[in-house]
Structure formats: C-alpha cells, structure tokens
Amino acid sequence: MLLAYLPAVEVYPVKESKEKPGAAQLVTRTGILLSLALVLQVVEGLLPPPGIPGAKLGLANIVTLLALNMWGWRQAAFLVVLRQVAGGALAGTLFSAGFMFGLAGGLASLAVMQALMSLASGRTSLMGVSMAGAVSHNWAQWLVARFLVGYPALAWYLPVLLLAALPCGALVALAARPVIRSFGKPEVMPRWINPGEIALVGCLVLLSIILPVRWAGAGGDPGFATVTVGGQVVEFLDLNSPGTREITAGGYRWIIKVEQGGVRVLEGNCPDQVCVHTGVVNHQGQVIICAPGKMVIQMEGTARGDQVDAVLP
C-alpha cells in the first residue's frame, strides 16, 4: 500500500540538467528516502523470520538501490549510515553488536553494488546487482561476527548465509524496480541476471563452501562440547549426561541444555536470539554462536579424561 502513493510524492528525480540540487531539495529528498527506509525496516520487523537464524529479507535495501540508481553512491552511502543511526537510536540498539552488523553489511553491500555498476556499466542487471549486494552484506556481517567472537568455526555459517542472500536479493530487486520507475527514472537496468553475473555469484558460492570445508575438523560423533566466552573456555559439557546449566558472563545469561547427544540454548538475554533459534546441534564441528555475548558452543570429538575439567551434571 505504501508504494502506491509514491508517484504522488515530489522527490526531484534526475534530470538532464547539470544543475546541482539546492540544500532544501537535498534535505527534502533525504527525508523522504530515510522515512521510506525506516518504514520498510519496521514492516520487515513485523513479518515472520525467513527461518534461518540471523537472516532478513532486507526490504530497506530497496531504498539503497533507488538512491544508487538515481543519485549515485554518495547519496546512497549517506542514507545507509543515517538509516542505521536513526534505526539504532529509535530501537535503543545504537553502537550495539546488531548496529555494527547492519552498518558493516550496508556499506559493504553498497560498495560491491557500486563497483559492479561501474566496472560493467550498461551490462549489469538490477537483479544481479541486488543479489551481489545481498551476498556481500551477509559476508560483511560474518566478518564482523568473526571479529567479535574470534572463532574459526563461524565459517560453517557462510553457506547458510549465502542460501539466504540469493533469494532475498532477487526479491528486493523485483520490489525495487517499480519503486525506481515511480520516482521518475525513465529507464531501469535489465530485469534478469546475465551470464557474467551468474558466474560471479557462482564464484561466491564456491568460496563460501571451500572456506568451511578447509577449516573442517575430523568427522564422527561428538563426545563433549566446549563453551567459550570471549575466547576463553568456561565449561565442558558431557553429551552423555543430559541436564541443564546456567552460564553468566559479561552481562549476558544463557541456559544451556544437553539432550540426546546434542546441545541447545533454551534461554538467553541477548537481543537477537540467534543462539536460541539455532536449535539442537549434535554433530562434530557444529556450533551455536551468540555474537553480542561472544559466546560459542563447539561440538568436539571423543572426550579424553585429561581434556575435561568440568562436565554438565
């Protein structure tokens, strides 16, 4: 319904004139785009999650695509930063881990989309640019999580993030096309992804699979799990002894349960709840991660007596 009103809004679309817009014009345009991005962000928060922990549709990226196509990367970058700051201030998450994820993802996505449009000018499709931006957004969030948590096993989450990024990027492109037209853009890039962009996405898929496989440990059934906070091991969990354990560190609290040879987080006071939504992990090498609390549960191999300092009763 919101998009239906866009044609009636005067937003000073791109003209052939080389005249630079005045200050009032820039403020008006920025205010309208920022409001639209924040509304889309709120609407997305009301929708059910895609089913993958940490994954989002990225509806606010419609505005980034719009600004990038019509006014260039400077206006788009300003909107990305402003949206993250305003959204974080309204939600009370300014400068939190979630804020860092969003800001890093938004700027990385913008940089990749602008590079693709500049290097292959006239040959890029709106869908290809959007999908490349979605993949780079998730990659940047993974790098931030890797920096915050400091755990190599996070590489196992790369294929999952990629699986979420590709369809979400395609949906954002389909939604952005009529929005760009309604703002006065006479021509939009080709709708469908081209072979060159397919090859680029294929390379990203391959890289996302190679990294976790390269860092994978030996297979087999796990015998215990380690719980680390801030890179320090705080608990060993015996997977053959079902039970629950409460762990508190750095202002965060988790209730961890061992059940049927696996581990899950029953409760946590972290803001994103990714660790809770991950569910049960029961294979060696699998992890549960809480990036805000820098907590990682790692499924390990067969326990040895000299390795285990404490077990879950």
What is the tens place of the pLDDT at every residue in 214-272?
655 444 555 788 898 888 888 888 888 888 989 998 889 999 999 877 899 999 998 87
pLDDT of residue 9: 37
What value does the mean pLDDT take over residues 74-100? 82
What value does the mean pLDDT take over residues 294-306? 67
pLDDT of residue 215: 56
250 versus 312: the higher-pLDDT residue is 250
Which domains, and CATH codes, for the chain?
Answer: 2-214 (1.10.1760.20), 224-299 (2.60.320.10)
Q: Could you give the CA distance from residue 119 to residue 196 in angstroms, rounded to a whole number?
A: 12
Residue-averaged pLDDT of the chain: 76
pLDDT of residue 7: 39
Note the pLDDT tens digit of each residue in 97-153.
778 888 888 898 889 888 888 887 667 888 888 888 888 888 888 888 777 765 666
Sign of CA dihedral 301, 303, 307, 313: positive
E-strand ranges in the chain read 224-229, 232-238, 243-249, 252-259, 262-268, 287-290, 295-299
Which segment of 9-23, 87-101, 209-223 scores lowest on mean pLDDT? 9-23
Q: Could you give the CA distance from residue 128 to residue 119 in angstroms, rounded to a whole number?
A: 13
226 versus 5: the higher-pLDDT residue is 226
pLDDT band at 306 (very low <50, low <70, confident <90, very high): very low
What value does the mean pLDDT take over residues 37-42? 85
Note the pLDDT tens digit of each residue in 148-169.
765 666 666 777 777 778 888 8
Sign of CA dihedral 200, 205, 209, 211: positive
pLDDT of residue 255: 92
Sign of CA dihedral 213, 215, 221, 225: negative
What value does the mean pLDDT take over residues 186-193? 64
pLDDT of residue 152: 61
215 versus 84: the higher-pLDDT residue is 84
**pTM: predicted TM-score of the whole model, two decimal places:** 0.62
